[in-house]
Amino acid sequence: MNIKILGTGCPRCKTLEKLTREVVKQNGIVATITKVEDIVEIMKYGVMTTPALVVDEKVTIQGRIPSTDEIKRVLIK
């Protein structure tokens, strides 16, 4: 599984990255997590508000910080 955290480095983006890494570790999910901070790359996903969570090239959450339970549901389905 490829996971990307889209965000320019703001506190909300860092929080989403931290929560996602925790969920992956706690649930034994095999994944590569990448932080994308380049605004041009972020715009390629059609994301207008960050942070955003991209799983296998599909934007799953954007513009808010989800709960760890929501992140887990997105990653396990």
Predicted structure pTM score = 0.94
The residues that bridge with 4 in the sheet, in sequence order, are: 34, 54
Q: Is 10 a catalytic residue?
A: yes
Q: Which of 3, 5, 6, 13 is catalytic?
A: 13
**Are the C-beta atoms of 37 and 8 separated by less than 8 Å?**
yes
List, for residues 2-42, the tens digit of each pLDDT value: 999 999 989 999 999 999 999 999 999 999 999 999 999 99
Helix (H, G, I), strand (E, B), or coil: what is residue 72?
A: helix
CATH T-level fold of 2-76: Glutaredoxin (3.40.30)
Q: Which of 10, 39, 43, 48 is catalytic?
A: 10
Residues 6 or more apart from 3 whose CB is under 8 A from it?
20, 24, 31, 32, 33, 34, 53, 54, 55, 75
- Dist CA 76 CA 65 (whole Å): 18
Q: Where are the domains of the chain?
A: 2-76
